[in-house]
Amino acid sequence: MTKPLAVLQTDTDSWKSLYKVGAVAALIAALVFRRNLGAAEIPLVTGITPPGNVDGWFTLLRNNPLLGLTLLNFFDIANYALVAVMFLALFVALRQTSKSYTLIAATLSFLGAGIYIVSNSALPMLSLSNQYAIASTDAQKSTLLSAGQAVLASGFNPGAVYQSTGFYLSLLFVATAGVIISAVMLQSRIFSKTTAYVGVVAGSLDLIYLVGLVFVPAVDVPLLGIICISSGGLFLMIWHLLIGLKMFKLGRNSKVNGGVNA
C-alpha cells in the first residue's frame, strides 16, 4: 500500500544523493552507453562489419583495439553497470510502494549485470590477440585460435545467429526486472503512467524476443532481433531518459511534487 506523503518526503530528503547518482546513471545509459552500441551502430555508420572468424578478430584487435572492443560490446559492460545503479535508486524511490517487488527487480538487475560483465568476451579476446601477435610457433597460434573460438562461443559474438547463455540470461534478468519495476511504478505516486508503460513495453519486447527464439527458425532469428531488440532498445532509451529526469527532480526537491505523478 502507498505510504503517506510525509513518509515519501522524508525518504526523499534522506536519499537525495542516491537519486542524483541514479539520475546520472540513467541518462548516461540512455544517451551514451546504449545496449549493443557497437554491433548495432558502427556497421550502419561506417560500413564496417564484425570479422567472420577468430583470426579476423585478432587482426582487428591488434590494428584497431578501440574498434574491436566496441564491436565486441565492451561498452555494454558500462551500460549494464549504470542500469544496476539506476535500479538501486529505483528500489529506494519505490520501496514504500512495494518493498518485495522492488527488491526482486533490483536483485534481478544486479544478477543480470554481473552475468553480462563476467561473460563479455572483449577483454579476453584482446588478451588472446596480444598473445597471438607474439606467438612464435604454429602450435601456439593454433592453440590461441582455438581459445579465441571458445571465448567467442561463451561471450557475445556479433553476427552470430544465436548468442551465449550469459547473454541470454543477462537479458532475461534485466528485462524481467524492468517489467516488474514498471508495474510497481503504475501503483506509485512518484513516476508517471507514461514512464511505467514505456518500461513495460521495453521489457516485454526483450522477453518476446527470448521466447521467440524457442519457436522461430534460425533463419528468421535476425529478423526477430530487428523487430524486438531494436524497437525494445528505443523504448528502453526513452524509459531511461524519463527515469533520469524524474530522479533529478527527486534529488533536487524536498517534496515529491505533492505526491502527484510527473
One DSSP character per residue, 110-162 reads HHHHHHHHHH--HHHHHHHHHHHHH--SHHHHHHHHHHHHHHHHHS--TT-SS
Q: What is the mean pLDDT of residues 207-224?
A: 88
Alpha-carbon distance 8 to 77, whole Å? Answer: 33
Identify the residue with better confidence: 215 or 222.
215
Q: What is the pLDDT of residues 119-159, one digit of tens each?
A: 888 899 999 999 999 998 989 999 999 999 888 887 777 76
Lowest average pLDDT, out of 11-20, 73-82, 166-175, 238-247, goes to 11-20
pLDDT at 218: 84
Q: Are 213 and 172 in contact (CB under 8 A)?
A: no
Report the chain's C-alpha Rg in angstroms.
Answer: 21
pLDDT at 194: 96
Confidence of residue 239 (pLDDT cuts 50, 70, 90): very high
pLDDT at 41: 61
Q: What is the pLDDT of residues 40-54, one digit of tens each?
A: 566 656 667 788 889
Alpha-carbon distance 119 to 154, whole Å? Answer: 7
Q: What is the mean pLDDT of residues 169-194?
A: 95
Closest CA to 182 of 246, 120, 127, 253: 246
